[in-house]
Amino acid sequence: MGTLTYDSKLTATFDDRVLAHLQIVIWAKIRRGEPFSFTWTEPSRNGYGRTSIWISPNISLAFEYFGGKTPLINKNWVNALSKSANSPGGLQLIPEPEDVAP
């Protein structure tokens, strides 16, 4: 389990594989100077809490991974997450689609 730390104040835990895909999408948006929201649920908290943050180039983010190896990247998932991030509702953590080989 890796962590995403937002503005040195909020820390969220995600599976390393999930976090790697989120990092690709988030870095791409930040690199282009595109602020956006990111919302996810946290079943590990009391009940099924939901957290939403505003991500922009002016806010510090840190991605910390538990494992030492980079997970394999599913391009279909990156594309689906990117589409979500570009929508009016912002980035939503969606289930991983099947990775179809080219």
Identify whether 24 is part of a domain. Answer: yes
Number of domains forming the structure of the chain: 1
Mean pLDDT (whole number) for 77-96? 96
Residue 83: the pLDDT is 97
Identify whether 101 is part of a domain. Answer: no
| Pairwise CA distance, residues 70 & 16, whole Å | 8
Identify whether 71 is part of a domain. Answer: yes
Residue 34 belongs to domain spanning: 2-92
Identify whether 54 is part of a domain. Answer: yes
Identify whether 87 is part of a domain. Answer: yes
For 3-42, how does the pLDDT look when each residue is reduced to its tens digit (9 = 90+)?
999 999 999 999 999 999 999 999 999 999 999 999 998 7
Identify whether 83 is part of a domain. Answer: yes
Identify whether 47 is part of a domain. Answer: yes
Identify whether 73 is part of a domain. Answer: yes
Strand 36-42 relative to strand 91-92: parallel, antiparallel, unpaired? parallel
